[in-house]
Amino acid sequence: MTLPFDKGSGEGSQKFMVMRGMTADNFDPVRYSGRWFEVASLKRGFAGQGQEDCHCTQGVYTFNMEAPSIQVDTFCVHGGPDGYITGIRGKVQCIPEEELEEKETDLEKREMIREKCYLRFPTLPFIPKEPYDVIATDYNTYSLVSGAKDRSFIQIYSRTPNPGPEFIGKYKSYLAKFGYDPNKIKDTPQDCEVMSDSRLAAMMSMSGMQQALTNQFPELELTAPVQFNPFTSVFDTLKKLVQLYFK
């Protein structure tokens, strides 16, 4: 649930939004919107599959007040700066405020766990929803995001691609308070040419990128058969498709 609040009065007043369900106090999805660079992460289990070789991971967040929800366009470059780009579009929504206490378990109340927001991929309905919790953020420099019910998935975001080792070390240590092992959180290489916001917006609006984000692939016109292993993960299969498409 999002609630509008008036802050102050007169000409200097402003309105801000609050999205309930995040650990971050009075989480404001409007201030959170925009571009974030992943500078370190821990990604184990299902949620981290297909991202092992990612460089230059970043996300563009857009708040939809009507839904209400946050659209998340995430992409990375595989293998290095000259690799191929993959991306996916998700949607973050939270349990309505009136259901929050009703669905909170005794354990969650004791441990103050508030994983009541979820990330879904509407164009991939066979992928289960995953918890999405902004643990802490100042909106201008950093954001710490949990993406699993346990301690297997955490991301450290920055508004700039290379904030420096002190910045990354500071927030790795901070996450220890939440039960994460700082030594298992690995730096994410941000070694690509950084696009301006206008160039990024132009790239995101291209039909090919929109098709990739929403998993709509045109005919590949392959000259030879391709074998897919049904026992591999969904993400491995999608990755193979993207490689074929962008060859």
Write the secondary structure of 148-195 as one string of H (helix), E (strand) and C (coil).
CCCCCEEEEEECCCCCCHHHHHHHHHHHHHHCCCHHHCEECCCCCCCC
Query: What per-residue confidence (pLDDT) applies to 124?
Result: 74
Q: How confident is the model at residue 109 (pLDDT cuts 50, 70, 90)?
A: low
Q: What confidence score (pLDDT) does residue 117 get?
A: 87
Handedness of CA 128, 134, 140, 142 (dihedral sign): negative
- pLDDT at residue number 177: 93
**Bond prior to 68 in cis (omega within 30° of 0):** yes
Token digits of residue 92: 């973050």
pLDDT, residue 95, reads 76
Give the separation between CA 189 and CA 100, rounded to whole angstroms.
Answer: 37
CA distance 244 to 234: 16
The answer to whether residues 37 and 168 touch, using CB atoms and an 8 Å cutoff, is: no
pLDDT above 70 covers what percent of the chain?
63
pLDDT at position 2: 44
Report, as an integer, the average pLDDT of 5-24: 59
pLDDT at 49: 67
Report the residue count for the chain: 247
- Taking residues 145-165, report their average pLDDT: 94
Res. 10: pLDDT tops 50: no
At 196-246, the pLDDT tens digits run 777 776 766 666 666 655 555 455 555 555 555 555 555 565 555 555 555
Across the chain, mean pLDDT equals: 77
Q: Model pTM?
A: 0.72
Token digits for 37?
């660079």
Per-residue pLDDT tens digits for 55-86:
999 999 999 988 889 999 988 899 999 898 88
CA-based nearest residue to 205, from 38, 36, 60: 60
Per-residue pLDDT, 237? 57
